[in-house]
Structure 1
Amino acid sequence: MARLEVNRSGEMDVFVRVVELGGFSPAARAARMTPSAVSKLIARLESRLGTRLLIRSTRQLQLTPEGCAFYEGAKQVLADLEDVERAASAGEQAVGHVKLNTSASYATHILTPVLPEFLARHPAVTLDIVQTDTVVDLLAERADIAIRAGPLKSSSLMARKLGETRMITVAAPLYLERFGRPRTTADLEHHDRLGPDYARAVDGWTYREKGRTVVVPVAGRVKASDGEGLRRLALSGVGIARLPAFTVRDDIAGGRLVPILGHLDTGEAETFHAVFVGHDRPLPARVRALLDFLAEKGSVS
């Protein structure tokens, strides 16, 4: 007996609409179907998969664990199909939406100043910029590109290096007037050392003193969720911070921050990469356009 052809993408589309719109009736209106047709389609889908996807009640729909997994997978498949169709219709033209995860520091000091040029070059591309210093799962967050600082962990992700920048210890003149200027790593024990509220590859500040490497733990009364927040705290005189050079260069030139402990500097640098999923599938033109632009205009130093 011949197997009936199943429109799997159509099923996925209707299922995603049911979940996101909260019911069969609104999904039916959006898909130009009847509620009974939508109900039968979901029942056929569950029967074919051999599992319950939705728990239906008179008031609401609730996803089962299997339904949650199918929903996330279906969204990704539909997004990939849209990319394929868009690429086929547009050729090599960059068209569509790009989601970028980046630190607030990179967004503020590197990306924002050059963003108008990218948008002018690629008028058919739209951007969603999510700012966080937390390492995100690109697939889970449905992100196309993420800007990451520090050493890259071994993974299936591809990466393009955007440069590296020195780490500089800084404080506001007001803070140094009130609490004194530290000249040794031991002096730092008496100061508020501003740090992030998330784990880092090296949990401390590294210096070279008396021929040996010294790692000073970060210990202060205030923490921040991103590097730009730490910079603002330092500017306010809350404490001492150790930050990438590109984020504080203008502040130092303007006298708003003062570099300290330079004589103990190890030359420590932080490397920046643009990471993306691309090893096992063609890269959409819209994503490739932003990657090429970041490599050209979004380098750090």
Structure 2
Amino acid sequence: MKLGRTDKTAEMETFLSVACTGSLSAAARDLGLTPSAVSRIMSRIEKRLGVRLIVRSTRSLYLTSEGESYALAARRILKDLEDTEATIASRGSPSGNIKISTATAHSRLTIVPLLKEFLHRYPDITIEIDVTDQISDVSAGHVDVAIRFGQLPDSGLHARRLGETGRTVVASPEYLAKAGVPKTPDDLALHNCLDFNFRRLEPGWPFRENDREFMLTVNGNIIANNGETLVELALQGMGITRVGTFHVRQALAEGQLMALLEDYNPQDREAIHAVFIGGKNVPARIRVFVDYLVEKMASPV
């Protein structure tokens, strides 16, 4: 009768314990077996393979070259089996905590509204949200999934495209009634422009006139590190700002803000990605969350 796979797995585990401890008796203690049982298992493996795997003396034990090869293969097989079982088991019911990093406004307007359905689908998962417009360090393990806007730097991280967003220059009707409506980008020099305070790839606000694209430096009396604050300042009539369209879609529809200089809008688009540590065995909780974001955010925002 041939040995089943489970028996061969147990044999490999026993062999590796002997190889690691260098002693039949020590391996027997670790495995809860008798030394004679361990010895029989070693003899059975060698008989089946037709080679010597270990050489024993009264004081020492060492592996032959065939034993070294068998140990290397056994470690790989057992590790592959462990990884496969963990992956299959987690696919049945993903569980655990996911720490997400997302920009302030995008969290409120996009991510948070999606969480109720996601957690209904996967009740064994918990969510921790880190709301910040600064870039979180995914590679250091500070977060599991980061939502990133714009061009991604080269890194060992994996990314899934979630969609894209445009940018719009806006101001409130109250501000425009007081300060006037800019007709061209050059008119912004006469206005209070509310901008981000962190370093960006673009050194100003981009515009297009005919076929010419150019970057315009703007100035104002308030800068902020997140779009949510800039939108709130614009709603209060403090000045003109340029933010992601998703920030202001509702305010534009309700007439609380007005889109400006649309004839000069370069229609530049920023890609939105979910960034995470990838590899062959991405934890199921992260995989299903990213898949869910792709499902729900496939259209431009």
1:86–1:96 Cα contact (<8 Å) kept: no
Instruction: Describe how 1:1-301 pairs up with structure 2 within 5 A.
Output: 90-209=90-209, 211-279=211-279, 281-299=280-298, 300-301=300-301
Give 1:139 deviation, angstroms: 3.0
2:136–2:142 Cα contact (<8 Å) kept: no
Give 5+ residue unaligned stretches, structure 2. Answer: 1-18, 23-82
1:123-171 CA-to-partner distances (Å, cap 9, x unmatched) read 0000011011111211335211100001111111111111112211100
Give 1:91 deviation, angstroms: 4.7
Q: Could you tell me the TM-score, scaled by structure 2's length? A: 0.69
Q: Secondary structure at the match of 2:166?
A: strand
Amino acid at match of 2:156: S
2:157–2:277 Cα contact (<8 Å) kept: yes
1:194–1:223 Cα contact (<8 Å) kept: yes
Larger radius of gyration: 2
Aligned positions, number: 222
Change (3 A) 1:137 1:218: farther
Counterparts of 2:254 and 2:207 in 1: how far apart (Å)? 26
Change (3 A) 1:85 1:179: farther
2:94–2:122 Cα contact (<8 Å) kept: yes
1:92–1:285 Cα contact (<8 Å) kept: no
Q: Secondary structure at the match of 1:194?
A: strand
Amino acid at match of 2:130: V
Q: Secondary structure at the match of 2:292?
A: helix
Give 5+ residue unaligned stretches, structure 1. Answer: 6-82
1:203-256 CA-to-partner distances (Å, cap 9, x unmatched) read 211111254222112321111111111111111111111111122111101000
Change (3 A) 1:218 1:131: farther
Counterparts of 1:150 and 1:129 in 2: how far apart (Å)? 21
Q: Could you tell me the TM-score, scaled by structure 1's length? A: 0.69
Change (3 A) 1:95 1:174: same
1:160-215 CA-to-partner distances (Å, cap 9, x unmatched) read 11111221110011110111110111100111111112111112111112542221
Q: Which residue does the alignment assign to 1:74?
A: none
RMSD of aligned alpha carbons: 2.2
Q: Secondary structure at the match of 2:263?
A: helix
Q: Which residue does the alignment assign to 1:68?
A: none
Change (3 A) 1:164 1:89: closer
Counterparts of 1:115 and 1:208 in 2: how far apart (Å)? 38
Counterparts of 2:236 and 2:211 in 1: how far apart (Å)? 34
Q: Secondary structure at the match of 2:185?
A: coil
2:192–2:220 Cα contact (<8 Å) kept: yes
Counterparts of 2:107 and 2:94 in 1: how far apart (Å)? 22
Q: Which residue does the alignment assign to 1:37?
A: none
Q: Which moved more, 1:133-142 or 1:217-226?
A: 133-142
Change (3 A) 1:202 1:84: farther
Counterparts of 1:243 and 1:210 in 2: how far apart (Å)? 23
Percent identity, aligned pairs only, is 38
